Amino acid sequence: MATCLGDAMFPQAVKGTVKLLRRLGHEVVFPEGQTCCGQMHVNTGYLREAVPLVRHHVDVFEPVAHGEWDAVVAPSGSCTGCVRHQHAMVARRAGDEALAERAEAVAGRTYELSELLVDVLGVTDVGAYYPHRVTYHPTCHSLRMLRVADKPLQLLRAVRGLELVELPDAEVCCGFGGTFAVKNGETSTAMLADKMRNVLGTRAEVCTAGDSSCLMHIGGGLGRLRTGVRTVHLAEILASTEASQTPAAAGSAGGVRDEPAEAQR
Amino acid sequence: MSTTHLGMPAVRDDSHDTGLPTYSPAGQGNLRGATSFPKAAHEKLLDTQLRRNLGKATGIIRGKRAGVVAELDDWEELRLAGSAIKADVMARLPELLEQLEENVTARGGHVHWARDAAEANRIVADLVRATGADEVVKVKSMATQETGLNEALAEQGIAAWETDLAELIVQLGHDAPSHILVPAIHRNRSEIREIFLREMPNVDPALADDPRELAMAARAHLRRKFLTAKVAVSGANFAVADTGTLSVVESEGNGRMCLTLPDTLITLMGVEKLVPTWSDLEVFLQLLPRSSTGERMNPYTSTWTGVTPGDGPQEFHLVLLDNGRSAVLADEDGRAALHCIRCSACLNVCPVYERVGGHAYGSVYPGPIGAVLSPMLTGISGPDDPNASLPYASSLCGACFDACPVRIDIPNLLVQQRAASVESHPRPTAQDLALRAAAVAMSSPGRFAAAEKGLALGRLVAGRKGRISSLPWPLSHWTDSRDVPAPPAETARQWWARTGGNDDEQEGRA
Amino acid sequence: MSGAREEVLARLRAARDAGAPRGGVPPVPRDYHRSGSLEPGGREVLDLLVERVEDYRARVLCAGTDDEVAAAVARCLDEAGSRRFVVPADLEQGWRPRIGDRELVEEHPSAPLTVPELDALDAVVTGSSVAIALTGTIVLAGGAPGQGRRALTLVPDHHVCVVRAADVVETVPEALARLDPSVPLTFISGPSATSDIELDRVEGVHGPRRLDVVVVG
């Protein structure tokens, strides 16, 4: 599950996930019919409009419920959260019990990346190398919807060369909240300011998380102020090895994401 | 929700007697502000003193709560029990209310019923007038704030004296409460000192801004009132159906003063504040103090059952208030909002509340629970209804659910109320059209990929900087403070189609 | 008025059915501690009570015999400078301090003191019904022996409360099980307090500003 944001805006998180899982010896399938889980619609209150998105998602990923694949993985806590905690609700609310049950079957085998690695595959050391000072922001939906707890931290602690710095008030929301960032842009910015203050206080050069959306928000603020801190998805760090660490891959200080400069060349 | 229950009676929004679940009538009480949340928040975010006061106070209370909750190894079991007891109450609410009424009446109390805020206020005013009194002392009560009782009594020539310290600060400051538990949380000590100096007769002009001195000034100010008051008005934290017992949970002793010394006690209570049995209180008397003030137990909890000869008020009236609660009860998911025991833990952990404060919500019920309860009680009349904006006053971070002692799934209720907000639109708004179009585009891979071609435009806008710093409205709300990365040269889908996921090392390094 | 009653009940009945959970309402899980692990009245539960009551900045004295109770009560009154004190007429005789230069007022249910009379007193000495060690709470039952009516323990500014060891339980559920809700109950956890100014706790507002507890047995 690439997620719409990962597909369109942050393909490096998707690529990182693919690369990592292949390195660990797993076969990865990218169902090309996939689009979007509908989270934006659901969380903005467009529950009726979300029904076709849920149906489409279930159609595309249903092979996992039939055992054709072992698991669906997404490099996103909030998209996984939407699939697991909202899809069946959306279907039931529309009176489609059959769709709700299909959605539950798919959701039962859908995992956020750190859950898949730690809980399902039983690995914490994925053999990654990432020689940077990093702080980790636990995104709200991974923390409080999926309860991934410290799984991402377990993974990060095992990364060679990585200096992990604890983020103060880590569990407080960064202020993204999907359309909240636009509909209540000023309150969102006030929350972002505090998150950035805490990130900057760590003196980390990289802020990581399990959701490209929250990273887009935090990174968008860090970049605007030219803070010299960049945001990198957890999947990219875990995919990283000695071989992939070239000076160019250290990334731009723009703070928005790891590789935009290279991608442009 | 409303779309699936075909047999559900329509919720009514007028005050005719239809016997159907009914919203709180528009124009009554204090459940709806004058402006939308984002507009109100705009003002509040500029108030640096407010930000400091709120940040400090909520930080302290979060710490205290976390400490006393961690002491109990059965906290989760208590939450589960509390949630289930309240679900049971909702399933039997009319029967339990009748049982309560019977027991209160048997013990010499009088029970009154109010359809809405105006009726509740009228009942209380009539009861006060019947005693011949022209003033009442009041215990802090959300229900009377909700109905706007003080203003209604003032219209009848009856003075209402708030006796809780924070309510007193709010009343003397001609202000509105901004928090369920600490209504003056938006004020700091020096602001409170100024209010006291300005508004309290006979106050020592040398009054310092030390909290103890300020509290003592309030004690001196109110003591004469307590000792001479003939009528008190209270709310209730709990009512026990099988015994007819009422309960008020407090700290200062102002509650005990009001519940004990006057001749007449009038208690106004929302119909949902019931528990079925006396022993059910064993759950809530543990959940409430630890969640609200962050104490193992609050200094004083009073319980009383009807009238006790020779002890306390010899006349007791209980007013049971609907004011929209029937409409909330009619909603299968939404009725969980009626489980709320008004502890305010969700306010204290909410990053939105912490930054804007309670006034931005307009309603007397602020914070996460208020953002769902207020629109559920009033209904949402359309896109311009200020309460339509409340369910969006959250980033859905979920901290409120974790803090809620009765496990109300507030994030889910926020989403459901957003749906109610969207579905109240008589005509599609610009946002409706945009999201409908997006849903069409996103439910087919072909259309989605086609839409992604538009990303090239983003790359053009970003230019050589690799970032976008300015977008047109409404996305300007994003770029006001945040950049947007330039879209990548290749989407993940294109990358997979081109490489099968195999050449990630070369890609991007070329 | 009866119109409102019937209307509200009709609305609630319709709403109860309209919003009924499809899966029904599950039974209430009561997996929390309904009794403590400490024996009521035992040493450990008393120690816990003392620690928790002191946490609220109340004073706690322990006594073994009635004479020691009387002496402890006298000490509490003297240290606070409370000269005129009131007791319910049925307060244990053995707990009463020697009068000395103090002034004792007894309140009989048949002749209650007026509020100004109560206000003119320095202190009140009472017994109690139940104490909860875990939360440092003492419960007074209106009209129960030695506990008087509610106003008696409210208006005087100093409350000396005697707690019998046998009445001390560990948890809230154990306490509620021992209490009769038909009489007015007052749960007291330390002196009155407020945190309404910047969440800064101040002890002593409208209720008694000083609480002394004497644990006996």
Containing domain of residue B492, as a range?
441-499
**C-beta atoms surrounding A249 within 10 Å:** 15
* Nearest-angstrom CA–CA distance, B31 and B364: 6
A166 close contact with B: CB closer than 8 A: no
pLDDT of residue A264: 34
What pLDDT, on a 0 to 100 scale, did the predictor assign at position B509?
Answer: 38
Contact status, residue B382 vs residue B425, Cβ threshold 8 Å: yes
Taking the C-alpha atoms of residue B195 and residue B209, their distance in angstroms, rounded to an integer, is 11
For domain A133-264, the CATH class is: alpha beta
Separation in Å, CA of C25 to nearest CA in chain B: 6
* Residue whose entry in the numeric block shows the structure tokens 């929700």: B1
Chain A CB contacts of B39 below 8 Å: none
Please report which residue ranges of chain A form alpha helices under DSSP H.
4-8, 11-23, 39-44, 47-61, 77-85, 87-93, 97-107, 113-115, 140, 151-157, 180-183, 185-201, 212-224, 234-239, 260-264
**Cα distance between residue B392 and residue B417, in whole Å:** 9
**Residues of chain B contacting A37 with CB distance shorter than 8 Å:** none
Question: What average pLDDT does chain B have?
Answer: 94
Task: Report the residue of B2, B189, B300 to disrupt the C interface, i.e. the one with the largest count of C CBs within 10 Å.
Answer: B300
In a domain, B39, yes or no: no
In a mutational test of the B interface, the residue from C147, C159, C201, C206 whose CB has the highest number of chain B CBs within 10 Å is C206
Name the band, by pLDDT with cuts 50, 70 and 90, for residue B504.
low
Nearest CA among A121, A119, A56, A123 for reference residue A83? A56
Task: Give yes or no for residue C135 having a pLDDT over 80.
Answer: yes
pLDDT score recorded for residue B455: 87
Q: What is the pLDDT averaged over residues B164-178?
A: 95
Give the count of domains, chain B.
2
Please indicate, yes or no, whether residues B153 and B278 belong to a single structural domain of this protein: yes
* Residue C31 counted as domain residue: no
Closest chain A C-alpha to B352 CA, distance in angstroms: 7
Q: Look at residue B175 and tell me if it is in a domain.
A: yes
Residues B320 and B445 grouped into a single domain = no
Show Cβ contacts of residue B344 under 8 Å, excluding neighbours closer than 6 positions: B179, B180, B181, B182, B291, B292, B367
Dump pLDDT digits (tens) for B43-101. 999 999 999 999 999 999 999 999 999 999 999 999 999 999 999 999 999 999 999 99
**Closest residue, chain C, to B58 (C-alpha):** C199
Which of C1, C13, C31, C32 to mutate: most B Cβ within 10 Å?
C32
For chain C, the chains sharing at least 3 beta-carbon pairs closer than 8 angstroms are B
Encoding tokens for residue A158?
A: 């095992």
pLDDT on residue B466? 86
Boundaries of domain holding C141? 38-216
pLDDT of residue B460: 87
Query: How many structural domains comprise chain C?
Result: 1
Q: Which residues of A209-245 are buried (b: 16+ CB within 10 A; e: fewer)?
A: bbbbbbbbbbbbbbbbeebebbbbbbbbbbbbbeebe
Give the gap in angstroms from C-alpha A133 to the nearest C-alpha of chain B.
Answer: 22
pLDDT per position as a tens digit, C77-92:
999 999 999 999 999 9
Q: How far is A149 from chain B (nearest CA, A)?
A: 14
Query: Which residues between 124 and 183 in chain C have a beta carbon less than 8 angstroms from any beta carbon of chain B?
Result: 132, 134-137, 142-143, 149-151, 154-155, 172-173, 176-177, 181-183
d(CA B325, CA B97): 13
Q: Where do runs of H (alpha helix) occur along B335-454?
A: 345-349, 351-356, 367-378, 399-403, 410-423, 430-442, 445-452
Domain coordinates in residue numbering, chain A: 4-120, 133-264
Measured CA to CA, the distance from residue B81 to residue A192 in angstroms comes to 37
**What digits encode the pLDDT tens for the residues B425-475?**
999 999 999 999 999 999 999 999 999 888 888 888 888 888 999 999 899
Structure tokens at B286: 């543990």
Residue C205 sits in a domain whose CATH number is: 3.40.50.10420
Instruction: Choose the mutation target among C12, C22, C114, C201 for the interface with B, i.e. most B CBs under 10 Å.
Output: C12
User: Which string of DSSP letters, residue by residue, matches B364-385?
Assistant: SS-HHHHHHHHHHHH---STT-
- Mean pLDDT, rounded, for B358-363: 97
Chains that touch A (3 or more CB pairs under 8 A): B
Q: How does residue A246 score in pLDDT terms, banded at 50, 70 and 90?
A: low
Q: Give the nearest partner residue to C184 out of B214, B283, B311, using CB atoms.
A: B311
Q: What is the CATH number of the domain that holds B256?
A: 3.40.50.10420
β-sheet bridge partners, residue C141 = C185
C33 in any annotated domain: no
Residues of chain C with pLDDT > 70, as a percent, come to: 99
| pLDDT for residue A98 is more than 70 | yes
Amino acid at B488: P
Q: Using an 8 Å CB-CB cutoff, list chain B residues near C20.
A: 91, 332
The CA distance from C68 to the nearest CA of chain B, in Å, is: 27
Q: Is residue B76 situated within a structural domain?
A: no
Asked if C154's CB is within 8 angstroms of B257's CB, the reply is yes
Residues in chain A closer than 8 A to B452 (CB atoms): 7-8
Dihedral sign for Cα atoms in the order B8, B9, B13, B17? negative
Instruction: Give the other-Cβ count within 10 Å of B169's Cβ.
Output: 26
Q: Is residue B508 in some structural domain? A: no
- Which helix (H) or strand (E) element contains residue A226? none
**Does residue A252 carry a pLDDT above 60?**
no
- Residue C30 located in a structural domain: no
User: Does residue B490 lie within any of the structural domains?
Assistant: yes
Q: Do C26 and B84 touch (CB under 8 A)?
A: yes
Q: What was the pLDDT predicted at B13?
A: 57
Q: Which residue of B has its CA nearest to A96?
A: B4
> Is B480 in Cβ contact with A185 (below 8 Å)?
yes
Q: Is residue B461 part of a domain?
A: yes
Compare B387 and C207 and report the one with higher pLDDT.
B387
Contact criterion met (CB < 8 Å) for B252 and C29:
no
What chain B residue is nearest to C17 in terms of C-alpha separation? B330
Boundary of a domain, candidates B280, B306, B325: B325
Percentages helix, strand, coil for chain A (3-state, rounded to 5) are 50, 10, 40
On whether residue C121 sits in a domain, the answer given is yes
Is there a contact between C29 and B312 if contact means CB atoms under 8 Å apart?
no
Asked if omega into B474 is within 30° of 0 (cis), the reply is yes
